[in-house]
Structure 1
Amino acid sequence: MKTRTAAKPNAASALLLDQQLCFALYSANLAMHKVYRPLLGELGLTYPQYLVLLVLWEQDAQTVSAIGERLFLDSATLTPLLKRLEAAGLLTRTRAVEDERQVIIALTAEGRQLRQRAQSIPQAVFCAAACTTGELRTIKTELEKLRDNLARQE
């Protein structure tokens, strides 16, 4: 099996902002949030809240830890987010009967109905990206690969 090594940057350019992968990711993330903000604002959601709902729309009634695993978030970050969604009437938090240490997160009727209103968001983001389906699929695949490689370094 062949081991890949990262190319070493030229010493003079190593600390140039435009040479930083992290900055390209960071600035793309900022641009993506600018696209999502008005779309989600119409639904009264923040981007992290939208991600939680996406997970629950795929499969309702999950534990906090399962949602956190899926979103790469720890429970300390996720819990306040879930409390705000509960206060908004979009989900419920209940202790599991078989293990009271586990909290089950489930959509309310209002949370399930919000899915219909969110249907147009992916297409709006696709249009804003101004890339082909193939280009976006490649970018997504490469970003997931990068994420997984970086996660292995922990």
Structure 2
Amino acid sequence: MTYDQLKLDNQLCHRLYMASNGLIRAYRPLLEALNLTYPQYVVMMALWEQDGITIQRLLEKTVIDGGAMSLILKKMQEKKLLSITQSEEDKRKKLLHLLPEGKALQVKAAEVPAKIRCAFPNIAPDEIQVLNRLLDKVCVDLNADEQEDSR
């Protein structure tokens, strides 16, 4: 028996792993210039999109683990990028608000997507759209069990 099914070249998971690692490496110098880690950058993008959201909504939007998110938010508070306050309507909910430094960082971060796009000279813009749609399907399929468990 040859066990071809176990060859690395036949593994979708390994390709996704290599792509993920490569992408994080491509982001690293761009985000170091902003003094952000990749997870912090994801949080900032969510807050630039919608400031004043609850931590629960941020967790849903970013799909970052709750324990990791607590540490990320603590570091971002220390950097004076955001504040965490209790909701007036529901004291159990905590709201996230960008501070002036966090808002100003958006201008510097605006060039990051174009620079990352340059890391893909062999992929045409329409192929990026196809890749996005396929990865969305992968995420839906991989998270289907979690969604069923929460029902």
- What residue number does 2:109 align with? 118
Higher helix proportion (structure 1 or 2)? 2
- What residue number does 1:68 align with? 59
Q: What displacement does 1:153 show?
A: 2.7
1:93-114 residue CA offsets vs partner (Å, 9 max, x unmatched): 1111222211101100110000
Moved over 4 A (4+): none
8 A contact 1:62–1:104 mirrored in 2? yes
129, 132, 145: which one aligns with 1:153: 145
103, 113, 132: which one aligns with 2:124: 132
Percent identical pairs in the alignment equals 35
- Structure 2: state its 5+ residue gaps: 147-151
Q: What displacement does 1:18 show?
A: 1.6
CA distance in 2, matches of 1:30, 1:15: 21
Paired amino acid for 2:131:
I
Under a length normalisation based on structure 1, what TM-score does the superposition of the two structures give? 0.90
Under a length normalisation based on structure 2, what TM-score does the superposition of the two structures give? 0.92
45, 49, 56: which one aligns with 2:47: 56
Paired amino acid for 2:56:
S
Q: What displacement does 1:35 show?
A: 0.5
8 A contact 1:57–1:115 mirrored in 2? yes
Matched length: 145
Taking structure 1 as reference, are residues 152 and 11 closer, same or farther at Cα in structure 2, changes over 3 Å only?
farther
1:85-128 residue CA offsets vs partner (Å, 9 max, x unmatched): 01001000111122221110110011000000001100001111
Compute the RMSD of aligned alpha carbons: 1.3
1:48 is paired with a residue of what secondary structure?
helix
